[in-house]
Structure formats: C-alpha cells, structure tokens
Amino acid sequence: IVENSNQTSTGNTVLVFDLKNTTNSVATVESIAATITNNTSVSAYYLYKDGTSIQSVGNPGSTSLLFNNFTAFTVAPNSTSVMAIKFDAKSGASGSVTAAITGSSQVSAILNSSLASVTGSATSNTFNLIGQAGVSVNLVGSPTFTTYPASVQGTTGYTTGTFVFSVSPVGVSLTDL
C-alpha cells in the first residue's frame, strides 16, 4: 500500500475469516478480538460481516484490538458468516500491518443462553505501508533548442529541443511502482 503525505488509504483488508455455526440454534456474537501490529500507522479499524460494516473503532494504542457491544450480531443455524477486519492507514504511513485471531478466547459467542465453544484461528498476510512513495523528476541543465527556418517562402520552419531529466525513486525502487 503506497502512501503519501497528503492522502490516507482507507478500507484496506488485513484479515478475512469465517464464523461458522454448526448447530441448529442461532449464535449471538458478543465480541471479537485480534492481535495487531504497527498500530501507529493506522487511524481506524472496521469489522465487516458478509460485506457489511458492523462496527468501527479508533486506534486502540496497543496490540489488542477489540470489537464488542454489537447490536444483534448473530450467525444463523448451520451457516457461515464471512468476516473481515479492515483498516485506514494514516497519510505518510510506513511499516507493516498484520492482524491475527490466535485462539478461541478471542471470539465470544452465546448459544442457547450459554457461552459457546469456539475453535480455530486466523492470521493475515503482512501489508507493507510505504510512506511518500513515487518518483522525483528533475531537469538537468538547460534545454537546448535548434531552429530550422523556412527554406522557401510560404513554408513553415520548426524547432527541435532536447530536455535531459534525472529520475530517481522516493520511498521504493522504480520496479515497485
């Protein structure tokens, strides 16, 4: 994800996972927690269920991200909900962002008025944030011009010019752009 000092990058998906209810009863999700990295480059996190945003939280200031106090967040009997955690990167952000749900204690759900047994884990890929990336183009020296006047009356002449530029990467290699 390439950032610059004037623009943020929003809605970046850092983790996708399934919540599967294998019972014949509705499961009510109470909370979802994740372990995150590089929260200094992130301004907000979002939790999505089946493509719809259900909650957003600001930067927690630690490596623990918590979504809770949901309004009617359920998973129907014998069904699967596709979940996603997304983030907004601050302008000029750099570093890497990851998220993981590493144990059943990070998802809390109620099933038939009792705490449900939750199993599984999910780990994201690493998302690299590159601050102020691009190219720097600079004119080297002064351009040179050669003028070719009209050789016959009623015809037009022309001018050619040579411009020399130096191009150098800023924040990344040229092959990354």
- Residue 160: its pLDDT value, please? 83
Identity of the highest mean pLDDT range in 76-85, 102-111, 138-147: 76-85
What's the token pair of residue 104? 């059943």
pLDDT band of residue 172 (cuts 50, 70, 90) is low
- Residue 55: its pLDDT value, please? 94
For 102: left if phi > 0, alpha if psi spans -120 to 50, otherwise beta; the answer is: alpha
Model confidence at 118: pLDDT above 60: yes
What's the token pair of residue 19? 């919540």
- Mean pLDDT for 122-137 is 59
Model confidence at 130: pLDDT above 90: no
Strands 127-129 and 134-139 turn out to be unpaired
Select from 89, 119, 123, 92 the least CA-distant residue to 107: 119
- Mean pLDDT for 143-170 is 74
Residue 112 in contact with residue 25, Cβ under 8 Å? yes
pLDDT, tens digit, for every residue of 11-23? 888 888 888 888 8
Q: Of the ranges 41-45, 50-54, 95-99, 173-177, which one carries the lowest mean pLDDT score?
A: 173-177
- Residue 58: its pLDDT value, please? 86
Residue 38 in contact with residue 45, Cβ under 8 Å? no
pTM of this structure: 0.68
Model confidence at 2: pLDDT above 50: no
Measured distance CA(133)–CA(135) in Å, rounded: 7
- 116 or 87: whose pLDDT is higher? 87
pLDDT, tens digit, for every residue of 25-78? 899 898 999 988 866 788 899 999 999 999 999 888 888 899 998 877 899 999
